[in-house]
Structure 1
Amino acid sequence: MCEVKTRKAFLEEDIPVNPPLPEYFNSTPNDQRPEWQIEVLWNRPFVEMISFFGNAEFREDWYRHWPSGIRYDVRCLDGGAWDRSTCWGMYPTLAEALECCKNGPMW
């Protein structure tokens, strides 16, 4: 079921935001991934929205960096890591994250 939802998100959306990823997506060696993941997900950046979930003592620091309370992580299964998607950057706004997806990481 997750394969169908993941395929749909990556094939129908220009840039997927919070796509349903397969279980263990970021702990699977790339050479052990099912063929469909390489075919559909390889070199397709996506955005994950991360909300604050830590101890109250870190809340102020989180909001200083991510004023909306959400961190927008741009990731891409591109071989930059052998067993997970590569982090292309973390941004305080969705607009900045989408820009990274369109133009690639700053490096």
Structure 2
Amino acid sequence: MSKHPTATLLANIKREAKRRAKTTNASYNATLDVVAREFGFASWHAVTQGKNAAGPVPAAASERELPVDPVLRPMFDYTPNEDRPASELAQWWLKPFAVTRGDGSFDVRCLDGGAHDRSTWYGTASDLASAKEIAAAKLANWLEFLDQPIMTIDADSYSLTIGSLHPRLPRAVLATFESMDLLRAWLAEWEENIATHPERTAAALQLARQVVIERDAAAMR
């Protein structure tokens, strides 16, 4: 069923993102994406465009839905991410889960690419509520890290790329410049938009990654 965001839904997502960003010290921009996924959308940009969650990246576990002691494939934590079955990536990529320890506490983990062949340890919590908070905060921080532009230098150009949200897709190119001065000016505007117009940077991130997705799909035809 199609989900069309209402003004109330948009306001609720923004309000929740602001609350979490303040309590977890994660960026508002990254937290918007996390909360949008919890409401069933692919990203905050997808919310603003009225689109349903779709694509290679599954919805993140919501604050109320953290799988506990899931049944995982043998060697789950000893498999290079690029060699994982597509069904496993669809089920667990960027979706935190909890594992009960012998003393009743919970280890929070997530298959997010932080390690090349296993899930990343997010932390240990004494109760499930705390485990959910750890999952939400750590995932937001990781997405924020992936969204940070990194410079690459070619023979006659400079590019800014962002991290991939899927292990079988390469980094996405945000922009390419003929000079370092142009790159610096662009970055200054980018940082300003993060603070004042996060929806603009979210849209740019989404577009850059969508180009990679479409190019990969075309190559598979």
Check whether TM > 0.5.
Answer: yes
* Matched positions, count: 79
| Displacement after TM superposition at 1:92 (Å) | 1.7
| Displacement after TM superposition at 1:71 (Å) | 2.5
Specify the code of the residue in structure 1 equivalent to 2:125.
Y
| Displacement after TM superposition at 1:70 (Å) | 1.8
Match of 2:92 among 23, 41, 44: 41
The answer to whether structure 1 residue 17 and structure 2 residue 68 are counterparts is yes
Distance 2:127 2:85 in 1: 33
CA deviation profile, 1:24-56 (whole Å, cap 9, x unmatched)? 1011111110011112210000000010xxxxx
The answer to whether structure 1 residue 78 and structure 2 residue 112 are counterparts is yes
Distance 2:120 2:82 in 1: 15
Distance 1:21 1:41 in 2: 10
**Corresponding residue for residue 91 of structure 1:** 125
Structure 1: unaligned runs, 5 residues or longer:
1-9, 52-68
Q: Is the 8 A contact 1:72 1:94 kept in 2?
A: yes
State the percentage of identical aligned residues: 39
Q: Is the 8 A contact 1:48 1:74 kept in 2?
A: yes
Which structure is richer in relative contact order (CA contacts within 8 A, separation 6 or more)?
A: 1
CA deviation profile, 1:5-24 (whole Å, cap 9, x unmatched)? xxxxx8xx921111111111
The DSSP-based 3-state class of the residue aligned with 1:17 is coil
Which structure has more strand as a fraction of its residues? 1
Larger Rg: 2
Q: Is the 8 A contact 1:89 1:105 kept in 2?
A: no
Match of 1:32 among 70, 80, 83: 83
| Displacement after TM superposition at 1:104 (Å) | 2.5
Q: Runs in 1 of length 4+ with deviation above 6 angstroms?
A: none
